[in-house]
Amino acid sequence: MSDYNVEVIQSTDIEAVKIATGKCYNRTIGDKALLHIIEAGHLSVMEHSIATIDLTCSQKVLAQITRHRHFSFTVQSSRGMDMGSNGYINKEANPFFKEFINNSIETSIANYNEAIKMGIPYEQAAYMLPLGSKVRLTISGNLRTWMEYLKKRVCKRASLEHRELAIEIYDVLHELYPNYINLDNLGICKNCKEASCDFTTHSRTQKEPIIIDLKHKE
């Protein structure tokens, strides 16, 4: 089961983009013409379609995702509800360190729960929650914003948790807009030298890296 619970709760049909673009060029715009416009780098037309996504992430990734300032965010409040029951995320691969981090997180959450029992307000007790604790949020953005976000966050160089989350977001948006939200249009992975990456154009198989021509490498 996914840690991230990614779900599209609202989306605008791509026809809004075609209609707006048609006004710009004074003609009817179909898929072929729109793809040509996107390939030419004129992504502003994609701002006419919007997708709203509900998801879960850690407090750590929340601090990263909110740096993408063209999105609109509504985040679960720590003032009036129990945040300790949300669970937590720990992506440490080393078994020893993973257990150490788990123990630390669980101790912090236990202290948070004890503080609530003592009558400390939720928003004050929330200072005790670790960065790994989960939080729910809703994000709205136009397709240009989503494309620019995905370009940065599905990359192998993104943090592991954020990359996993971004790949799930890519999957749901690709299902909605397969002709537009895909790696070719996002411009990622082209000429990439990260041979260990497991992200391919239309399907992914774990532990099966992209084959990269490294002849140019010294």
Do residues 14 and 108 both lie within one domain? no
Instruction: Establish how many alpha carbons lie within 13 A of residue 18's alpha carbon, considering only the half-sphere containing its beta carbon.
Output: 13
Dump pLDDT digits (tens) for 52-104: 999 999 999 999 999 999 999 999 988 877 888 889 999 988 899 999 999 99
Mean of all residue pLDDT scores within the chain? 87
- Residue 14 maps to which CATH number? 3.30.1360.170
Give the structural domain span for 101: 84-128
Q: Please report the pLDDT score of residue 217 as a whole number.
A: 37
Average pLDDT over residues 201-214: 42
Instruction: Tell me if 158 sits within 8 A of 167, measured CB to CB.
Output: no
Element (H, E) at 152: helix 143-153
Weakest-pLDDT range from 142-146, 169-173, 178-182, 197-201 = 197-201
Domain end, chosen from 128, 159, 189, is at 128
Do residues 18 and 106 both lie within one domain? no
Do residues 112 and 55 both lie within one domain? no
Dump pLDDT digits (tens) for 12-31: 999 999 999 999 889 999 99
Domain end, chosen from 96, 112, 128, is at 128
Q: How many domains does the chain have?
A: 2
Residue 33 lies in a domain: yes
pTM exceeds 0.75 for this model: yes
Domain end, chosen from 94, 128, 162, is at 128
Q: Please report the pLDDT score of residue 198 as a whole number.
A: 62
Sign of CA dihedral 102, 106, 107, 109: positive
